[in-house]
Amino acid sequence: MPEITTYPEGNFCWAELVTSDPAASKAFYTALFGWTVTDTPMGPDEFYTMLSLNGKTACALYGMNKEQLARGVRPHWNYYIAADSVDEMTKKAESLGAKVVQAPFDVMDVGRMSTIQDVAGAALMFWQAKHHIGASVVDEPGAFCWYELSAHDMDAANKFYRALLGWIGGVSPEYTEWKNGDRTIAGMMRIKNPPGAPPMSPNWMGYVRVADCDVAVQRAKALGATLLVGPMDVMDIGRFAVILDPQGATIGLYRSLRT
C-alpha cells in the first residue's frame, strides 16, 4: 500500500501506547510486529518513541508519569481521529453529550489535540495535523487496520458518532460497522461480562494486521502476553484474537481472509 500522506476528517489516524515500562514494551512490540524504534526526548529521562514498519511510521509509545503511576492508571492504547479543526470538533462533541477530558492544545509544531470521553464512556482523542499527519502506513501486516468500540448503549453511541462525524452504520443486536464516506473504518459491539469476570468499561480497541493470526498469538504468548479471546474466525471475513500485553494493555490481532 502507498505511503499515507493525509487523512480525511473522521478517520482514525494515530495510535499510541501509554505504558508502565517503556523498555519492556519496546522489546515486546518490536519482537512481535517487527517495529523499529526512534526515541525523541520529552524531558529528563522521558521519551516519546516512534514505532516504524519498513521505514514508515506506524504508531508510538511513551511511559506513564509519576502521577499516573501513583493513581494506578493501567497501561492502555490511545486512539486518535483526524479533525480539520480540533477546537470545533471538541466543541461539537461536548454539545452532543461528550465530556471534555483535555481541552484543545498545541503539541509543539506537530499538531493540535484534545481528549474526550464519548457518550458511551470511552476515551478518544482528536488530532489536527501540522507536521505530523499520523501513521504513514495502515492495513499491512504490522500496521493498525481496524478499530472497535465496546459499549453498553450501542444506540446512544451510534447516534453520537453519526451526528459528530457523519459515520454511516445501523445498530444490530450483536455488531455494528461504521463507514466514513465509502470506507468501512470501525465497528462496535455490546459489552457482555462473563459471570464472575470483573466489569468491563467502555473502550476503543485497535487491531494490528498479521500474516497469520495463530502464529502471531503463539509468538505473543511466548513473549509474555496473555490470550483473552480467540483465535477465532468471523464468518469468511477474517480471523482475530485479543491479547493483553505483558504490561497489561489490550490489543487486537487480525488476519483478513479476503486479501
Read off the CATH number of the domain in which 242 is found: 3.10.180.10
Task: Give the number of domains in the chain.
Answer: 2
Query: Of the residues 91, 106, 129, which one is the last residue of a structural domain?
Result: 129
Mean pLDDT of 53-60: 96
Residue 18 domain boundaries? 12-129
Q: What does the longest C-alpha to C-alpha distance in the chain come to?
A: 50
Query: Of the residues 129, 161, 187, which one is the last residue of a structural domain?
Result: 129
Is 139 domain-assigned? Answer: no
Is 23 domain-assigned? Answer: yes
17 and 106 within one domain: yes
Question: What grid cell was written down for 180?
Answer: 466514513
246 and 168 within one domain: yes
Residue 22 belongs to what H/E stretch? helix 22-33
122 and 150 within one domain: no
106 and 161 within one domain: no
Residue bearing cell 466514513: 180
Is 222 domain-assigned? Answer: yes
226 and 119 within one domain: no
Cα atoms found within 13 Å of the Cα of residue 48, Cβ hemisphere only: 9
Report the pLDDT value the prediction gives residue 174, as an integer from 0 to 100. Answer: 80
Q: In this predicted model, what pLDDT tens digit does every residue of 146-167 receive, in sequence order?
A: 999 999 999 999 999 999 999 9
Query: Of the residues 105, 129, 153, which one is the last residue of a structural domain?
Result: 129
Report the pLDDT value the prediction gives residue 194, as an integer from 0 to 100. Answer: 58
Report the pLDDT value the prediction gives residue 259, as an integer from 0 to 100. Answer: 60
124 and 169 within one domain: no
Q: In this predicted model, what pLDDT tens digit does every residue of 82-140 receive, in sequence order?
A: 999 999 999 999 999 999 999 999 999 999 999 999 999 999 999 999 999 999 999 99
Question: What grid cell was written down for 54?
Answer: 519498513
